[in-house]
Amino acid sequence: MQRDWLTLVLEADGIAEYREAANHHHRADLLGRGSSILSMMLVGFVVVSSAIGIARSRPQITAERDALRTRVIAEQKLTQGVEAAYETARELLRTTQLAVRPDLNGALAAALDQQGMAAAFVPVRGEGVVLVLDNSQRPTFSGTTDLGRIIDRDVQHAVNGLWAAGAEAISIDDVRLTARTSIRNAGSAILVDYKPVAVPLSIRAIGPSAMMLEKLRRSPEWSELTQLQDRYRIRWSVSSSSDLRLPAGTSALPTAARPQGGS
């Protein structure tokens, strides 16, 4: 009787609670496992759905990329054809000018030469200065932007400083600058007249070298370049040269502008 009574007491006061607690924890464990399994199934479903979506859209993406590549190649060929035709027309005009030159008086011939040089229509040669711009050897990042890389604004400032110092003709690498030449960034590349140029950039300017160097050193552009070097370790140098050769420009001549009084 004592044993049965003890058993009943334990079952009434403790064992039932223990059992209930055990059952509760077991259900909670099952519920936790069920939630985990459900979460894993949901993640797996999302991954599989994404994979299926990517697989289904891949042919469309490939087709669009191929179409874009084809279009770019076609535009490049068209541009090359236009440039070749323009170069042929330029050479024909130059040949015609040379043929009629003996019939021109000295002032008219000199004016023709001056206009041709100003419009970058003819190659030029003479003394001048060479300004070289290069990226920093140690990148200086601000977020994902490398402040130690040459950008279009740096090149624009350098060119403006050379024009203000008395340059008569300027080229960047093999691209001659005209009044219509653009200097822009395209991603990490620099485009001059829509042509990519690589650093280090060689900016060649024809003009009286001694005067140009003196004016350039006193210009705001010189201070700007110095600050770029001090802050971001951008490298640059400038030197004089007794013999620079700049190519003719490749930009098309104006089509809407006309001389005053012209039709």
**pTM score over 0.85:** no
Average pLDDT over residues 51-73: 75
Note the Cα 234 to chain centre separation in Å.
Answer: 17
Q: Which two tokens stand for residue 9?
A: 């007491």
Tell me how far apart the alpha carbons of residues 249 and 184 are, in angstroms, rounded to a whole number: 17
**pLDDT at res. 25:** 44
**pLDDT at res. 87:** 72
The Cα-based distances of 110 to 104, 113, 117, 184 in angstroms read 9, 5, 11, 34
Q: At what angle do helices 209-217 and 220-232 cross, to 10 degrees?
A: 60
Contacts of 114 (CB under 8 A, 6+ apart): none
Residue 36's Cβ-side half-sphere holds a number of Cα atoms within 13 Å equal to 6
**pLDDT at res. 113:** 67
Tell me how far apart the alpha carbons of residues 147 and 171 are, in angstroms, rounded to a whole number: 25
User: Is residue 180 helix, strand or coil?
Assistant: coil
Per the model's pLDDT, the better-predicted residue between 249 and 237 turns out to be 237
pLDDT digits (tens, 9 = 90+) for 63-116: 788 888 888 888 878 877 877 776 787 677 677 766 766 766 667 667 766 666
Contacts of 252 (CB under 8 A, 6+ apart): 86, 180
Helix (H) or strand (E) holding 120: none
The answer, yes or no, to whether residue 21 has pLDDT greater than 60, is: no
Average pLDDT over residues 168-191: 90
Q: Which of 156, 159, 116 is nearest to 253 (CA)?
A: 116
Per the model's pLDDT, the better-predicted residue between 195 and 35 turns out to be 195
pLDDT digits (tens, 9 = 90+) for 117-157: 666 677 889 999 999 999 999 888 888 888 899 999 999 99
Q: How confident is the model at residue 164 (pLDDT cuts 50, 70, 90)?
A: very high
Tell me how far apart the alpha carbons of residues 37 and 16 are, in angstroms, rounded to a whole number: 31
User: How many other CB atoms sit within 10 Å of the CB of residue 179?
Assistant: 11
Residue 249 CB-density burial (10 A; 0-12 exposed, 13-18 middle, 19+ buried): buried
Q: How confident is the model at residue 258 (pLDDT cuts 50, 70, 90)?
A: low
CA atoms 71, 76, 80, 85: torsion sign: positive
**pLDDT at res. 79:** 75
**pLDDT at res. 67:** 83
**pLDDT at res. 139:** 82
